[in-house]
């Protein structure tokens, strides 16, 4: 198998290990200070192990580093390509060879760190880690591009061997660096207790950068394992160690999330009792920020774990529980099962511990509702009876509305009292209802205009129950009304529901609004009939009808001279309830009496006159002479 660039990566790994080991050797001068981050706290330098294996790796790195520096001693991927290689393969080989420039830069940083010169070693170490991560990321990307080459292309296997043939040692280096970073993170956390002010803020930022670097190394290694799998190369020497470290990290973050949840819950209770305490507000804000940071870390860890096919259902359930709204995580395999299991356990624990109290609260809640429901019915009946016996002159609409509102008010009071009995705080709820009412009112402006119109109708009483009214688009008898609409029944028993806003905003004609009403009747007689006789007959008919009122007096007049008849007007006054009875009775009686007395009711007619020719000429001459 061609060695090629794989030797470069082996040299890089060993060189890196030597840097990590030698950077930890005791300083030659007793008074040498540990490296510090500018403006921050002291950074622990002893972050790597001093095992014999690490020391041996450092010794082996000296000769390997020299080999890396001599580019001619290492065969290039381009030279190793078979004749006639494709253009894509040649381009990939050139990029693979170009990685040696990256390694050369790392060599410079490595030598500076190994010699222990007076430099900002923490910054150089961070820069070195960043370059290594980018180098390994690019190597994984190139491996994926190599995988896209046709399987029959001979250069595919050769380039893959250059990149992955001996890169199993890469995992050892990454694991060492991850463990070293973890040790440094632990020491930094221990040192935070002695810091305050700006120094603490800087140290926390530095600590965050160390955690991010550690997670980047884990991500790179997970991608490397996935790449090796795609080439069907063994990963058993890397996968168990990576899974162990990822599991430890995920459990640690999950524990911090649980702790922060409890902390924020406790702080919320204290803030509810002392909402003006600035220290509590600051502590809650800091805990919330730290919770968001750990949730983001959990998301990144879950993504890495899924890259190496680890079970992440439990950790995704934590994210689903904490995230606001519904995310795509909930449809991941196993997440729903874990969530339901957790919810079931919570419900079970709650029922065991709070079951008796819960049952008592439910019974009390229902009892209060039933009592106030009965009180609401009793209130409606009592108020209805009181209004019926009262001498206060109010409309039936107002009475019905007051009765309905009284029952609703009692029931609303009962609901509020029932909620208070089970521990619901009414103050925040009422405040929330006020805000919700403002929003709903803004959205339902037309409906609120109907409320206002209904209130005006109740106050000014333009009509009442059983009144016959005519409004734009509808006419009939008022059967029911509330603050939103009026229900009207037509004479043919059709039901009309008219919004109060449409009624109040236009002309309202209340036909039956008065107790007395005039019946307007008109009868035609022939031009040859006796008008006084006809008037006497009409007067007698009105006088004889028992429902016609004596006062106001009945009016009988000659209304008009029509084309075919003399029109007589009959205007008796009756009670409103008797209007149609009198109208129909008198119309029938007039026809019968006119027939009996020989008074004609003429049909529309036209007179046609015939003239002879001589008469026509005689008639025409005067007209012609006048012109």
The reported pLDDT for the residue numbered 89 is: 79
**pLDDT band of 531, cuts 50, 70, 90:** very high
DSSP 178-228: HHHHHHHHHHHHHHGGG--HHHHHHHHHHHHHHHHHHHHHHHHHHHHHHHH
The reported pLDDT for the residue numbered 306 is: 84
What percent of the chain is modeled with pLDDT above 70? 74
Please give the average per-residue pLDDT across 377-400, as a whole number. Answer: 80
Contact 23, 180 (CB under 8 A): no
Please give the average per-residue pLDDT across 554-573, as a whole number. Answer: 93
Please give the average per-residue pLDDT across 554-562, as a whole number. Answer: 93
70-106 pLDDT, tens digit per residue, is 444 456 777 777 777 787 877 877 877 777 777 777 7
CA pair distance 173, 60, nearest whole angstrom:
14
Please give the average per-residue pLDDT across 383-408, as a whole number. Answer: 78
Lowest-confidence region among 5-9, 518-522, 533-537: 5-9
CA pair distance 34, 60, nearest whole angstrom:
27
136-167 pLDDT, tens digit per residue, is 888 778 777 877 888 777 777 777 776 665 45
Please give the average per-residue pLDDT across 576-584, as a whole number. Answer: 93
Lowest-confidence region among 339-343, 364-368, 412-416: 339-343
Is pLDDT at 614 greater than 60 in this prediction? no
Considering only CA atoms, which of 324, 307, 290 is closest in space to residue 230?
A: 307
Mean pLDDT of the chain: 75
Is pLDDT at 38 greater than 80 in this prediction? no
Task: Please calculate the CA angle 102-103-104 and round it to the nearest 5 degrees.
Answer: 90
Sign of the torsion angle spanned by Cα atoms 64, 65, 68, 70 = negative
More confident residue, 434 or 609: 609
Query: Which bin fits 115, alpha (ψ -120 to 50), beta or left (φ > 0)?
Result: alpha
199-219 pLDDT, tens digit per residue, is 777 888 888 888 888 888 888
Is pLDDT at 504 greater than 50 in this prediction? yes
- Helix axes of 168-191 and 197-230: crossing angle, nearest 10 degrees: 160
Considering only CA atoms, which of 245, 244, 224, 246 is closest in space to residue 235?
A: 224
Lowest-confidence region among 57-66, 317-326, 521-530: 57-66
Alpha helices by DSSP H, 444-480: 445-460
**pLDDT band of 323, cuts 50, 70, 90:** low
108-140 pLDDT, tens digit per residue, is 777 766 666 555 677 777 777 887 888 788 877
The reported pLDDT for the residue numbered 59 is: 35
pTM of the complete model beyond 0.95: no
Burial classification of residue 174, based on how many CB atoms lie within 10 Å of its CB (0-12 exposed, 13-18 middle, 19 or more buried): buried
């Amino acid at each position: 198998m061609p060695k090629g660039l794989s030797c470069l990566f082996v040299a890089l790994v060993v060189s890196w290990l030597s840097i990590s080991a030698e950077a930890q050797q005791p300083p030659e001068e007793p008074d040498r200070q540990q490296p510090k981050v500018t403006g921050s706290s002291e950074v622990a330098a002893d972050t790597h192990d001093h095992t014999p294996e690490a020391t041996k790796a450092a010794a082996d790195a000296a000769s390997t580093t020299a080999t890396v520096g001599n580019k001619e001693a290492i065969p290039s991927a381009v030279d190793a390509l078979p004749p006639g290689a494709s253009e894509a393969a040649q381009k990939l080989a050139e990029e693979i060879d170009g990685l040696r420039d990256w390694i050369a830069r790392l060599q410079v940083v490595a030598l500076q760190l190994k010699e222990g010169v007076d430099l900002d070693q923490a910054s150089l170490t961070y820069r070195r880690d960043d370059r290594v991560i980018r180098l390994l990321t690019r190597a994984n990307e190139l491996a994926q591009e190599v995988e896209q080459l046709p399987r029959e292309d001979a250069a595919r296997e050769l380039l893959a061997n250059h990149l992955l043939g001996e890169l199993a040692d890469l995992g050892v280096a990454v694991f060492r660096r991850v463990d070293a970073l973890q040790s440094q993170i632990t020491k930094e956390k221990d040192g935070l207790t002695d810091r305050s002010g700006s120094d603490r803020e800087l140290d926390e930022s530095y600590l965050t950068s160390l955690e991010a670097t550690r997670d980047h190394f884990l991500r790179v290694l997970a991608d490397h394992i996935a790449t090796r799998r795609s080439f069907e190369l063994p990963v058993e020497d890397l996968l168990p160690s990576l899974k162990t470290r990822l599991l430890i990290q995920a459990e640690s973050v999950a524990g911090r999330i649980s702790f922060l949840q409890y902390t924020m819950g406790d702080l919320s209770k204290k803030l509810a009792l002392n909402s003006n305490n600035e220290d509590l507000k600051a502590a809650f804000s800091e805990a919330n920020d730290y919770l968001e940071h750990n949730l983001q870390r959990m998301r990144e860890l879950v993504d890495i774990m899924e890259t190496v096919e680890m079970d992440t259902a439990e950790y995704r359930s934590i994210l689903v529980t904490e995230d606001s709204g519904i995310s795509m995580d909930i449809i991941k395999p196993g997440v729903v099962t874990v969530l339901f299991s957790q919810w079931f356990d919570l419900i079970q624990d709650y029922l065991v511990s709070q079951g008796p109290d819960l049952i008592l609260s439910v019974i009390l809640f229902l009892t209060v509702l039933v009592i106030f429901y009965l009180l609401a019915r009793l209130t409606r009946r009592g108020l209805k009876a009181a209004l019926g016996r009262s001498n206060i002159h109010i409309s039936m609409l107002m009475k019905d509305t007051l009765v309905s509102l009284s029952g609703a008010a009692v029931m609303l009071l009962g609901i509020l009292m029932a909620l208070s009995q089970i521990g619901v705080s009414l103050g925040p709820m009422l405040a929330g209802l006020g805000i919700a009412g403002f929003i709903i009112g803004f959205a339902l402006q037309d409906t609120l205009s109907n409320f206002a119109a209904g209130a005006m109708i109740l106050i000014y009483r333009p009509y009442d129950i059983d009144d016959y009214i005519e409004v734009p688009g509808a006419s009939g008898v008022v059967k029911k009304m509330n603050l939103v609409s009026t229900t009207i029944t037509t004479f043919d028993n059709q039901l009309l529901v008219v919004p109060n806003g449409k009624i109040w905003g236009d002309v309202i004609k209340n036909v039956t609004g008065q107790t007395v009403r005039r019946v307007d009747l008109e009868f035609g007689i022939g031009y040859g009939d006796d008008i006084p006789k006809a008037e006497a007959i009409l007067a007698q008919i009105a006088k004889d009808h028992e429902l016609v009122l004596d006062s106001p007096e009945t009016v009988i007049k000659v209304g008009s001279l029509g084309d075919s008849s003399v029109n007589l007007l009959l205007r008796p006054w009756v009670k409103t309830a008797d209007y149609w009875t009198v109208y129909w009775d008198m119309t029938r009686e007039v026809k019968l009496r006119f027939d009996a007395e020989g008074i004609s009711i003429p049909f529309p007619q036209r007179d046609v006159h015939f003239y002879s020719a001589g008469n026509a000429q005689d008639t025409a001459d005067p007209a012609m002479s006048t012109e």
